[in-house]
Amino acid sequence: MQATHDLARKVSLLIMDVDGVLTDGTIFITASGEELKGFNTLDGHGLKMLQSTGVKLAIITGRAAACVEARARGLGIDYYYAGIHDKRAAFLELIGKAGVDASQCAYVGDDVVDLPVMCRVGMAIAVPEAPSIVRKNAHYVTGNSGGRGAIRETCELIMQAQGTFDGLMAGYLS
């Protein structure tokens, strides 16, 4: 666990996939073609708490869906890349815009399309439903499933490693 905390301590940018990470991977498509997805409010609040500590947030997703854009906007996600087929290129652009080194980034993914970024960041994280090759290339595999608290777990892990978690919790407990 210490090695995990050492990696998490360095994170200044948390990057996430969407389907299977921020959601459980289920996509509902209406007759008119609109996509609907379910997001976990615990994950959302975890992201808000993490962001309040100074860690920036980003999404790189292969699909472009209005509901995801609305969720990202509502959460105040700092960087949003949608409809991305080359996540590696988007990642390189992102770290340039964010002014961070790859070693300062954590990435949460769930499938092989996430590996080009996971293999370049300082902390690669997978959800338990990810294929074995993705889990094998992760520094950490969450106990919680995608769309069911994996992001909240990740946020709390980073905050605990960076020493900001207890201070935030004190604000809720006082």
* 2 pLDDT more than 70: no
- Is 110 annotated to bind a ligand? Reply is yes
Q: pLDDT tens across 117-173, in order?
A: 999 999 999 999 999 999 999 999 999 999 999 999 999 999 999 999 999 999 989
What pLDDT, on the 0 to 100 scale, is given for residue 1? 55
- Residues 6 or more apart whose CB falls under 8 angstroms from that of 76 comprise 48, 51, 57
Q: What is the CATH number of domain 2-169?
A: 3.40.50.1000
- Is 17 annotated to bind a ligand? Reply is yes
Contact 165, 159 (CB under 8 A): yes
Residue appearing with tokens 């854009």: 69
DSSP state of 145: P
- Measured distance CA(11)–CA(137) in Å, rounded: 18
- Is 166 annotated to bind a ligand? Reply is no
Q: pLDDT tens across 15-73, in order?
A: 999 999 999 989 899 999 888 888 989 999 999 999 999 999 999 999 888 888 989 99
pLDDT band per the 50, 70, 90 thresholds, residue 104:
very high
